[in-house]
Amino acid sequence: MPRRTSPIEVLFRFWAVAFVFALCPYGFLFLLVGAVSLPFLALIALLVTILFNGIQWIGHQFVFRTMFSDDEQVQKFLRDGGDPWFHLSCPWPFNPDSDEVRMTVEPEVWHCSECGGPNTDIEQPCQHCGFGRWHCGRCDALLDDQFSPCQACGNDPFGERGTCE
């Protein structure tokens, strides 16, 4: 599956187009006469790019989270980390991704600090080495979560179930 265009790439493309438009037709003439400098035109193009994309991003967040709150496909896209402006609505030459690539969201990959293996959920123990799992303080057996009683020896962190000797 092809890689999705990142928001930084989209912003860079917007900036390049804004810079070219800043040069045509009078910007280039003002540049030649010395009324403006090239860094000034580049800065103005950057500010216009950030302002335009910022307004689009805020507007799309509002519209997609309120008006499409009943649409399950849109809500799944948002839950999976999709961005309504950069990944869905941004027009073609700035985001050249196909509709199929735009609608797919690849899960974020975290790497285990113990073995370096890839994991999709930072809240869960490592899928490769088990790092991050809870162990019984008494017999070192694996536990379901931090507060569950041990199935092997009956040790209970709250002393409510089983026998703690």
The pLDDT value recorded for residue 1 is 56
The pLDDT value recorded for residue 54 is 96
> Alpha-carbon torsion 146, 151, 157, 159, what sign?
positive
- Contact criterion met (CB below 8 Å) for 146 and 137: no
Integer CA distances (angstroms), 120 to 110, 124, 127, 128, 159, in order: 6, 9, 9, 12, 34
Residue with tokens 């580049």: 42
The pLDDT value recorded for residue 133 is 72
- Which amino acid is it at 105? V
The pLDDT value recorded for residue 164 is 45
Q: Give the C-alpha separation, 78 to 118, whole Å.
A: 23
Is the whole model's pTM more than 0.85, yes or no? no
What string of pLDDT tens digits covers the 165 residues of the chain? 577 888 999 999 999 999 999 998 888 899 999 999 999 999 999 999 999 999 999 999 998 888 888 888 888 888 877 889 998 899 999 999 888 888 776 666 777 777 888 877 767 777 777 777 777 878 888 777 777 788 888 888 777 554 444
The pLDDT value recorded for residue 161 is 52
Q: Give the C-alpha separation, 69 to 143, whole Å.
A: 38
Q: Give the C-alpha separation, 119 to 115, whole Å.
A: 11
